[in-house]
Amino acid sequence: MTKLSAQTLECIQYAAEIIRKSQRAVVLTGAGISTPSGIPDFRSEGTGLLSKVDPMEVASLNAFRYAPERFYKWIRPLVTQIFGAAPNPAHQALARLQAAGFFKVIITQNIDNLHQKAGASHVMETHGTFQTMSCTQCFEQVSSNGFIEPYIQDGHIPYCPQCGGILKPDIILFGEQLPQQTWYESQTACRNCDLILVAGSSLEVLPVAGLPLQALDRGAHLIIANLSPTYLGVRADVVLLGDVAEIIPLIAECVLHD
């Protein structure tokens, strides 16, 4: 574990105090909470999945419609990592805080299901999920179980058991709208909260990056834990720069045991 400064430890204590006093707190998580579990993000220079390709050529809805084989070839390493990943201490800490009643809702930009694997409930997946797939022809929705394993192992593209059409994972590609009900519930949660904790999000991907503003504009507190600064740092009550897999468990420890 990294040795934390006295100032950082003081900020952790202050963040815990805000969480304990909150009544309607929500969490917003991004790629940075899952990178410690071995899942790369999409945008980091040199290592992100989109750093060496044009996203519109492989990760857009149009690209999938015209060349699903290329999409499946490109994303296969990520799928392998997602289905082999385990929750890290940050996921587990948020699940403990939620179980203790401090957070009712976890809003995530991630598609890896790690919050649920850690035991969290009421997780709003704004960018969709790999746990289900939908047919591009008859729109039948099926569980990914039974389709993902052959794809990971041998690269077999999944086809609909009903009509034979190509199955598309229920993740949001470029050019797609966010899941309507999930997006509505996420906005409602942020507009009614008294605290929003941002964990592992650079707050660069719209429209989800605007959710903390909706909370702030209605008087909510803001805590940010992220590896790098964000555009809302100047408006946050607490900013903790560093590895969220270290910071979030320390916050949880203070909230639950101090």
pLDDT in tens, 154-166: 999 999 999 999 9
Sort 8 into a burial class: Cβ within 10 Å, 0-12 / 13-18 / 19+: middle
Q: With a cut of 70, list the residues of the chain below it in pLDDT.
A: 1-2, 42-53, 55, 258
Q: Which amino acid is at 142?
A: V
Q: Which amino acid is at 226?
A: N
Q: Which residues contact 46 (CB under 8 A, 6 or more apart)?
A: none
Query: Any idea where the domains of the chain sit in the sequence?
Result: 1-39+87-127+178-258, 41-84+128-171
Taking the alpha carbons at both ends of the chain, their separation in whole angstroms is 21
Q: What is the pLDDT of residue 5?
A: 87
CA-atom Rg of the chain in angstroms: 19
Q: What is the pLDDT of residue 41?
A: 77
Q: Which residues contact 8 (CB under 8 A, 6 or more apart)?
A: 240, 242
Q: Are 1-39+87-127+178-258 and 41-84+128-171 equal in CATH topology?
A: no
4-57 pLDDT, tens per residue? 888 999 999 999 999 999 999 999 999 999 999 999 875 554 545 555 667 678
User: What is the pTM (predicted TM-score) of this model?
Assistant: 0.93
CATH superfamily of 1-39+87-127+178-258: TPP-binding domain (3.40.50.1220)
41-84+128-171 CATH pick, 1.20.1050.10, 3.90.730.10, 3.40.50.10260, 3.30.1600.10: 3.30.1600.10
Active site members: 127
Q: What is the pLDDT of residue 49?
A: 56
Cα separations (Å) of 236 from 39, 181, 208?
Answer: 27, 28, 17
Are 186 and 126 a contacting pair, CB within 8 Å? Answer: yes
CA atoms within 13 A on the CB side of 153: 5
